[in-house]
Amino acid sequence: MKRASSSSSSSSSSSSSSKKLKSEESPSPIPDLTEDLLYEVLRRADERTLGAAACVSSRWRRLAQDERIWESVCLRHWAALGCAPCQLRSVVMALGGFRKLYVSYLAPTVPTRSGRRRRWSRDELQMSLSMLSVGFFGMMGGPMGKFPPGKGI
């Protein structure tokens, strides 16, 4: 994870003084990036990094869980999109969002941690979307209530 570029750009003396300042005034070592900058950084990060970033602070979490970021995570991996991106977006957002799609249905298909930047085939995409639909349907209120209770699928 990238530390803020601001501290590295400053000279060593000022960095040490800023460190002193930091330890004096606030316990937070998180560099003070603007939201836009942070978003840009996270947008290029991989899934593991995003997961870690979401654990930093509530602000970081809000940004790391942004649907646009996860949409690009998912799209990045899909070899061929059968439909228009806006079409996909509206359906996926209605059914729970890209992050949920990734976490619940795409991530399990990645064999090991080392399988980064793996391109998913259309079938895997379609399967994960189907599962997302089924999961959403199951969680809808209805005669059987939510089924299965508490589970994702």
Partner 1 sequence: MKREYPDSGTSSSGGAAPKGKHPASAPPSEEDVDELLAALGYKVRSSDMADVAQKLEQLEMAMEMGAAASTAPVSDDMAFFPETVHYNPSDLSTWLDSMLSELNTPPPPLPPPPMPPPPSVPSFAPAESSSVNFDPNPISQSDPSRERKRMRTGSGSGSCSSSSSSSLGRGGAGTTTIGSESIEPAPVATPGLPVVVVDPQEAGVRLVHALLACAEAVQQDNLKAADALVKQISLLASSQGGAMRKVATYFSEALARRIYRLRPPVGPISDPSTFDSFADLLHMHFYETCPYLKFAHFTANQAILEAFAGCKRVHVVDFGIKQGMQWPALLQALALRPGGPPSFRLTGVGPPQPDNSDALQQVGLKLAQFAHTIRVDFKYRGLVANSLADIEPYMLEDESGDGEPEAVAINSVCELHGLLARPGELDKVYHTVQKVKPKIFTVVEQEANHNSGSFLDRFTEALHYYSTMFDSLEGSNGSPTEPPSPGQPDHVMSELYLGRQIFNIVACEGPDRTERHETLAQWRRRFSQAGFDPVHLGSNAYKQASTLLALFAGGDGYRVEEKDGCLTLGWHTRSLIATSAWRVMAA
How would you label 12-21 residue by residue, b for 16+ Cβ within 10 Å and e otherwise? Answer: eeeeeeeeee
Which 72-91 positions form the footprint of partner 1 (CB under 8 A)? 82-84, 87-88, 90-91
Single-letter code of the amino acid located at 7:
S
Question: For residues 27 and 145, which CB has a smaller minimum distance to partner 1 in the complex?
Answer: 145
**136 lies in the site for partner 1, by CB under 8 A:** yes
- How would you class 115 by CB atoms within 10 Å of its CB: exposed for 0-12, middle for 13-18, buried for 19 or more? exposed
C-alpha dist (Å) from residue 127 to 80, 86, 109: 14, 19, 11
In the complex, the smallest distance separating the C-beta of residue 88 from partner 1, rounded to whole angstroms, is: 6
In the complex, the smallest distance separating the C-beta of residue 114 from partner 1, rounded to whole angstroms, is: 17
Contact positions vs partner 1 (CB under 8 A): 82-84, 87-88, 90-91, 94-95, 104-105, 108-109, 121, 123-124, 126-127, 129-134, 136-138, 140, 142-144, 147-148, 151-153
